[in-house]
């Protein structure tokens, strides 16, 4: 089959370019620091909470408004002295408008947008300005450097800006949070009315709901719920290009990826025409990060020799740009089988530097978009259908080492699923047959290396990933992935090494328990992780598993679910099966969320109409086999149904398909 470079090699040319970008950008980012002490008599973990209380009183801003705005800006994280990609600092994310590390956000055509450096848009006759760090410093009569590094001063600066905005609007410094709607709407310096309205909606929804969080710096912060606070005075309907498929509350643009023939040999790029969901059900939404800046990715997606994806989300404010219609197939995952069934969503950022790139506004925009798409196409909101690029099954054994690692161990899957409205939580007792990986993101900080150079230890950071060992001991060797490292090299603690990791929301069959340690079935082996009762890294889960049919010692595992030979029309060459280099032996069990229909689409030629989809009668189950997903034939396995209570004898049924 003929493929362009981007098709033949998962990641293609993009891998080389993005790796270079990662190394270049990593060198620019300073290390994370701890929250500085601002009062020796204060409880060590209450300094930030007290700072909000004191600043609200000093500047006559309702404390709920100040706390909620800060949560939307940074989730109360400080990262003292370390700017975000937008040049924002501290828990109020105050922006140095003179030029931050990332410059101004880009427009969809890749040009720098200077609007973030000053007045950004007008709404209701009032100019809107960003949370300007220099202006905040002048208001509280402190050097800008102090607001960059001291969380207490940063909060005071944010409160002063809110009060100044309220006065500029001709409003009194009311104790009623609802009176602060317009000041809140203008605080982040958003460049369009729809995004500003959505931001304020989120702030006031949080005020009504309340929140509690332990920050990255170990500060305990609480926003008490105020359910009676009034809401938005009226929705704003954004104007957008007709091609865009987005929820109404998001500001979205269109920047087309090209579908063109490249040469006389028939090579083409950079996506495929389809007629989904009529010719192929959309079953997955794949979460990526760009490992590059957005302007570079806009150039990539317009290059017919490169990869493509459906949506890009900007780090600074969560702005969405669509490139490929969802009915068509983008080249984003490294697997044509997954591409045919999925929508790809790219997030501006670098997996090794989440504090600078994975912003709260980006998380929220992404969750709104994914929730909209999942509802539209009936995609289940679980981790076997909403997954990362790093969870995509390799289509063949020889492609495993080339598969990607983003969005990486620092993507906050628990928070993301909370925003999706599908919280990850225990669904069975702690002693059952299945577990869901669910560490506490803020306090779970495993050791990683390679964020700022090979072998160098990364600064501690909350993580969604849990590391696996060959035995129930901290000093036991890490589990190995023979597909990822066929030469026998050992797994490492490198931030991009997936060989011995599982991730939040993934669900596995329990293989053994010993004291504080739990073993799961993982790529054909028992894999151990520490799971103490008082600080668990996994919770009980109920559901279905598969196990080899009685009498079968071992069954093959696949990276795609292909039709049987007789399903292919005359004249079309059969796509050959290619089992992955792993073993699934008798007695082992793996969790499945759904059955999968087999299919194949010949994407070898340029055509003005979608190529026909070959649908087979062969049925498969998708399973959580390792860090990545995999498939097994339904005829090779029996279903194992677990109870939602304590451990017991699970019910085994002959293999059948269906959701």
Instruction: Determine the average pLDDT of the residues in 54-67.
Output: 98
Answer with the residue of higher pLDDT: 26 or 580. Answer: 580
DSSP SS3 for 63 = helix
Residue 130: what pLDDT? 66
As a whole number of angstroms, the distance between CA 315 and CA 349 comes to 7
User: Tens digit of pLDDT for each residue in 308-352?
Assistant: 999 999 998 899 999 999 999 999 999 999 999 999 999 999 999
What pLDDT digit, counting tens, does each position of 601-659 carry? 998 889 999 999 999 999 999 999 999 999 999 999 999 988 654 444 455 555 544 43
Q: From CA 31, how far away is CA 82, in angstroms rounded?
A: 7
Asked if 412 and 502 count as a contact pair (C-beta separation under 8 A), the reply is no
The phi-psi region of residue 125 (left if phi > 0; otherwise alpha if psi is between -120 and 50; otherwise beta) is: left
Residue 195 has a pLDDT of 83
Spell out the domain ranges in the chain.
5-26+240-545, 47-223
Q: Which residue has the tokens 């803020």?
A: 442
Of the pLDDT bands very low, low, confident and very high (cuts 50, 70, 90), residue 230 is confident
H/E segment holding residue 272: strand 271-272
Average the pLDDT over each of 81-85, 198-202, 232-236, 290-294 and give the range with the smallest value: 232-236
Q: In angstroms, rounded to a whole number, what is the distance separating the alpha carbons of residues 519 and 507? A: 12
| DSSP-derived secondary structure for 291-341 | SB-HHHHHHHHT-TTS---SEEE-TTT--EEE-S-TTSEE--SS-HHHHHT
What's the predicted TM-score (pTM) here? 0.85
* Three-class secondary structure assignment of 486-524: CCCCCCCCECCCCCCEEECCCEEEEEEEECCEEEEEECC
Nearest Cα to Cα of residue 183 among 202, 161, 156, 208: 161
491-507 average pLDDT score: 96
Give residue 131's pLDDT: 86
Instruction: For the beta carbon of residue 576, count every other beta carbon within 10 angstroms.
Output: 8
**pLDDT band with cut points at 50, 70 and 90 for residue 31:** very low
Does the pLDDT of residue 24 top 80, yes or no? no
What class is the 47-223 domain? mainly alpha
> Can you tell me the mean pLDDT for 199-205?
93
Q: What is the rounded average pLDDT for all residues in the chain? A: 87
CATH topology of domain 5-26+240-545: Lysozyme-like (3.40.80)
Residue 438 burial (CB count, 10 A)? 23
Beta pairing partners, 521? 526
Query: What's the whole-number mean pLDDT along residues 261-268?
Result: 89
Q: What is the pLDDT of residue 152?
A: 97
């Amino acid at each position: 089959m003929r493929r362009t470079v981007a098709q033949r090699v998962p990641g293609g040319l993009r891998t080389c370019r993005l790796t270079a970008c990662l190394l270049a950008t990593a060198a620019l980012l300073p290390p994370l620091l701890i929250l500085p002490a601002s009062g020796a008599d204060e409880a060590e973990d209450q300094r930030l909470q007290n700072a909000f209380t004191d600043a609200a009183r000093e500047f006559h801003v309702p404390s709920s408004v100040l706390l909620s705005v800060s949560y939307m800006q940074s989730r109360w994280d400080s990262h003292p002295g370390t700017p975000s990609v937008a040049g924002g600092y501290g828990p109020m994310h105050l922006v140095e408008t003179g030029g931050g590390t990332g410059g101004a956000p880009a427009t969809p055509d890749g040009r720098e947008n200077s609007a973030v450096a000053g007045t950004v848009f007008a709404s209701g006759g009032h100019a809107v300005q960003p949370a300007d760090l220099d202006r905040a410093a002048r208001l509280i009569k402190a050097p800008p450097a102090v607001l960059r590094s001291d969380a207490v001063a940063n909060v005071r600066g944010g409160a002063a800006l809110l009060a100044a905005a309220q006065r500029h609007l001709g409003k009194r410094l009311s104790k009623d949070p609802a009176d602060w709607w317009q000041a809140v709407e203008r605080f982040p310096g958003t460049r369009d009315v729809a995004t500003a309205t959505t931001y304020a909606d989120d702030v006031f929804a949080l005020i009504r709901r309340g929140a509690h969080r332990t920050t990255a710096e170990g500060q305990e912060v609480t926003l008490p719920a105020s359910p009676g606070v009034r809401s938005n005075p009226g929705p704003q309907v954004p104007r957008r290009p007709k091609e865009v498929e987005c929820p109404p509350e998001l500001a979205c643009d269109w920047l087309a990826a090209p579908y063109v023939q490249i040469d006389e040999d028939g090579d083409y790029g950079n996506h495929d025409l389809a007629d989904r969901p009529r010719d192929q059900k959309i079953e997955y939404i794949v979460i990526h990060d760009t490992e590059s800046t957005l302007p570079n990715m806009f150039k990539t997606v317009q290059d017919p020799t490169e990869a493509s994806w459906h949506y890009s989300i900007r780090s600074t404010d969560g702005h969405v740009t669509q490139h490929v219609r969802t009915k068509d197939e983008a080249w984003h995952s490294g697997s044509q089988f997954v591409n045919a069934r999925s929508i790809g969503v790219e997030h501006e950022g670098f997996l090794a530097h989440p504090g600078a790139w994975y912003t709260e506004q980006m998380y929220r925009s992404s969750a709104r978009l994914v929730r909209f798409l999942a509802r539209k196409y009936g995609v289940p909101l679980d981790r076997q259908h909403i997954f990362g690029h790093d969870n995509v099954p390799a289509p063949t054994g020889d492609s495993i080492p080339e598969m990607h690692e983003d969005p990486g161990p620092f993507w906050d899957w628990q928070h993301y699923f909370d925003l999706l409205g599908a919280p990850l939580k225990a669904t069975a007792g702690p002693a059952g047959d299945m577990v869901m990986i669910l560490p506490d993101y803020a306090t779970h900080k495993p050791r990683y290396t390679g964020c700022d150079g090979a072998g160098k230890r990364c600064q501690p950071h909350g993580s969604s990933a849990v590391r696996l060992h060959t035995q129930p001991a901290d000093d036991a060797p890490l589990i190995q992935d023979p597909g990822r490292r066929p030469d026998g090299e050992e797994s490492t603690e490198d931030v991009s090494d997936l060989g011995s990791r599982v991730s939040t929301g993934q669900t596995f069959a329990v293989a053994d328990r010993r004291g504080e340690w739990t073993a799961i079935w993982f790529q054909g082996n028992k894999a151990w992780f520490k799971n103490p009762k008082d600080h668990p890294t996994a919770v009980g889960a109920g559901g279905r598993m598969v196990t080899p049919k009685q009498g079968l010692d071992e069954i093959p595992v696949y990276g795609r679910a292909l039709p049987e030979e007789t399903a292919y029309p005359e004249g079309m060459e059969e796509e050959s099966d290619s089992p992955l280099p792993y073993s699934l032996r008798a007695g082992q069990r793996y969790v499945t969320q759904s059955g999968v229909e087999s299919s194949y689409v010949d994407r070898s030629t340029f055509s003005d109409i979608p190529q026909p989809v070959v649908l087979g009668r062969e049925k498969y189950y998708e399973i959580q086999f390792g860090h990545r997903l995999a498939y097994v034939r339904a005829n090779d396995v029996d279903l194992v149904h677990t109870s939602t209570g304590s451990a017991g004898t699970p019910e085994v049924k002959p293999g059948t398909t269906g959701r």
